[in-house]
Amino acid sequence: MIEQRRWILIAAIFLGSFVVMLDVSIVNVALPTIEHSLKSDIAGLQWVVSAYTLCLSAFLLTAGALGDRYGRRRVWTLGLATFIIGSAICSFAADMPALIGGRVVQGIGGALLIPGPLSILSRAFPDREQRAHVIGAWSSFSGISLITGPLIGGFLIAHFGWHSIFLINLPVGLITLILGIISIPESADPAHTSLDPVGQVLSVLGLAGLSYGLIRGGDIGWSDPVTLGLLGGALLLFGVFIAAERRIEAPMLPIELFRISAFRACIFGSFVIGFAAFSSPFFLSLYFQQVQGLSVAETGLRLTPQFAALALVSSISGRLVARIGAWRNLFVGFLGMTLSLGAMIFWSVDLDFVMTLPWLLLLGAGMGMTVPTTSTLAMSAAPPTRTGTASATINVARQAGLSVGIALIGAIMSTAAIQALAAQIGSAVQAANLVKAPSATTAISQAALFDLRLRPEALLTGFHWAAGTACIAAAAVALFIPLRARRS
């Protein structure tokens, strides 16, 4: 009976982590369809992705502390229930505000779900060898969601519409919730846990202000007073956050970890992985569908190799580190990301998939070499009592990088596309309307219809700028790593 209950527990934990990670990748292939269906613009699409990842990064550290204090089973269950509610809101959303609101609720639920599984599985499997196998299988199963996300999304959207990518979470989520309730034992450690509400509020407001300011800058303009106020306010909030964390006895983000140079390097690297690499499916989806004119299903197939390479290389990264060393492994990974993103600057409208495939595989392989290695190095650099916090902080940095990447690189892509189209048609206003929201135009002139044919070339220019920005970020880390390695 105990053994049967443990198998049910494994199913619950694995499925819970699967749906959270699935919603990171599955939504990317739906973006152009959502844009047309809800008459949105590029800024709205950025929020569909950023609202989810921003909440994941902003609430992740606090979610771990909540589980330790009030019970990991209780917080895991609350997180899954919240995620299901958010999925229901997204499933029936009739406009962009409702969809973005649902993504916020999903993100909060996902943040509550992520920290618990490691502790729950560790307690359920006290035998060290068994525990290692189960946790390894859990990590691999979570990674599969990134591979299958574009494929599942492409199939569902092609046959049932974009709402179905959220609707599928309802039966899967409810089954997982029931399995978790009957199998996961409660555990808590309140004596060694403290909460940091001040740090939580400041971090959420800072990240939200920064993302909103960057997205608004690409949509309205960088000289807009509200945009400048949001960006300035976000920087001020981050400054207050750091000052507050220094004074709090048990801060959400232990500042003393950042005094360790190797840990700082890993945080920087993890942020750039999110910023440059994990943000790429957002821009690649727009390239394949709106520049090349491919279907949703075809786009899903083209995005799959990147995540397949990520999963494959991640599984052998430990052997690579043992052979060439951790810092060399990071250098090779970031170099691969730099080369692949740099190659995208030269992609054309009619480029064959055979020509894009090697670069997508190289990008995924670079991610596979860097993601587990940054986590391992960060935990090795941190004191033994802080390894859990170090691991969570690395995850937060990667999710924050993804949020900022979608916001900033998306703004650069939109601005570059508008400028390219305006140079061709001679009207900046018309160019902005056609690039940002062609489907929102209710009455379009014959001249505008002609201008609309130029949109793929303009978006291609924006895509080149997006790839170039991500390439520069990855190159900066690749150049920085040899300096860090010499110190080691």
- Look up residue 162 and give its DSSP letter: T
Nearest to 409 by CA among 296, 281, 295: 281
Confidence (pTM): 0.82
pLDDT at 485: 58
Q: Are 141 and 134 in contact (CB under 8 A)?
A: no
- Look up residue 39 and give its DSSP letter: T
pLDDT at 74: 93
pLDDT at 195: 74
Fold of 1-179: Growth Hormone; Chain: A; (1.20.1250)
pLDDT at 430: 61
Nearest to 74 by CA among 107, 106, 105, 112: 112
pLDDT at 89: 97
pLDDT at 442: 40
pLDDT at 59: 83
Q: CA-to-CA distance for 238 and 163, rounded, in angstroms?
A: 36
pLDDT at 182: 92
- Look up residue 259 and give its DSSP letter: G
**Degrees (nearest 5) of the Cα angle 57, 58, 60?**
65
Q: What is the mean pLDDT of each run of 10 residues along the chain (488 residues)?
A: 79 91 86 87 84 84 80 92 97 95 95 84 79 73 78 90 95 95 84 72 86 80 86 92 83 80 89 93 89 88 89 83 87 96 95 95 93 82 71 82 87 83 66 56 40 72 94 93 65
Phi, then psi, of 453 in degrees rounded to 5? -70, -20
Secondary-structure breakdown of the chain: helix, strand, coil percentages, each rounded to the nearest 5: 85, 0, 15
* Three-class DSSP category at 325: coil
Locus of tokens 């946790």:
135
Q: Are 46 and 100 in contact (CB under 8 A)?
A: no
- Domain 253-488 = CATH 1.10.15.40: no
Q: Tally the residues of the chain.
A: 488
pLDDT at 441: 43
Amino acid identity at 249: E
Locus of tokens 């993890």:
270
| pLDDT above 70: percentage of residues in the chain | 89
- Look up residue 186 and give its DSSP letter: P
With the C-alpha atoms ordered 271, 149, 316, 121, is the resulting torsion angle positive or negative?
positive
442 CB-near residues (< 8 Å, 6+ apart): none
